[in-house]
Amino acid sequence: MAPNRKTNKVISAHNTELDSRMGGGLPVGSLTMIEGGSGSGKSVLSQQIMWGALQDGFIVSLFSSENGVKSLVTQMKSIDLDIFEFLLMGKFKVYPMELSHLGEQAVEALVEAMQKEGSMGRDVMVVDSFTSAIIHTSNDQSILHFFEECKRLCTKGVTILVTMHAETMDGDMIGSIRSMCDGHVVLRSSQDGQKLVKTLEVAKIRGASSVTGGIFGFDVEPGWGMRVIPISKARG
């Protein structure tokens, strides 16, 4: 088992099209922000990347505001990503974030939980979504502190993905956070006539092994997952 964990320099989604558009995968030890509105694909993209990481033997922790373990297994299975075996082997940990009762403390609690995971040798950590954690806080300092701590974990070799709705933050704040991140992916979902068009923009992936792919269209297909499609086709 775990044939590639020690040697792989990137986290691959194990989806050839997606990997090649994302510069060959996310560099190990990078911090990536996945930005997008509701239904734009943040969870599906992070699920695809987590699954790819598990295939390569990485140990993954997910902090989820959306899913408990059971609903996550069902959701991922619906797009052909079977994680059951990894959960059983303790290679994949899922922590449902119960944020509402933590209020202002939610971000700090998340930081502490991630530090604890870091000390247990996790390779990949995903927060989906960070928006749910910050909805309860008015404190910009604690948000910046969260990203600083993420960067600290990255220097120890942890690869981190954070999903968020950018609209919930003011411009200065989101600007500072974007510049702290090594990777920045923007997902958009818009109505074009009868058709719902989904696009993924790779704004940056610092340290990518090949050129990243700009903007491309994608579909989420039951029993398959994310499928890259030409943008003209995406637009109908």
Ligand X SMILES: Nc1ncnc2c1ncn2[C@@H]1O[C@H](COP(=O)(O)OP(=O)(O)OP(=O)(O)O)[C@@H](O)[C@H]1O
Smallest gap from Cβ 224 to ligand X, in A, equals: 8
Q: Which is nearer to Mg ion, 15 or 43 (CB)?
A: 43
Residue 14 CA to residue 54 CA, distance in Å, equals: 10
Q: Which does 90 bind (CB under 5 to 8 A by kind): ligand X, Mg ion, none?
A: none
Q: Which does 32 bind (CB under 5 to 8 A by kind): Mg ion, ligand X, none?
A: none
Smallest gap from Cβ 1 to ligand X, in A, equals: 28
Q: Residue numbers of the site for ligand X (CB under 6 A)?
A: 36, 38-44, 66, 78-79, 129, 220, 222
Residue 227 CA to residue 229 CA, distance in Å, equals: 6
| Window 18 to 77, contacts with Mg ion (CB under 5 A) | 42-43
Count of other CB atoms within 10 angstroms of residue 2 = 13
Smallest gap from Cβ 202 to Mg ion, in A, equals: 19
H or E, element range at 179: helix 171-180
Residue 61 CA to residue 122 CA, distance in Å, equals: 7
Q: Which does 44 bind (CB under 5 to 8 A by kind): Mg ion, ligand X, none?
A: ligand X
| Cβ pair 160, 149 in contact under 8 A | no
| Cβ pair 102, 167 in contact under 8 A | no
Q: Which is nearer to ligand X, 90 or 193 (CB)?
A: 193
CA 124 to chain centre: 10
Contact residues: Mg ion, CB under 5 A: 42-43
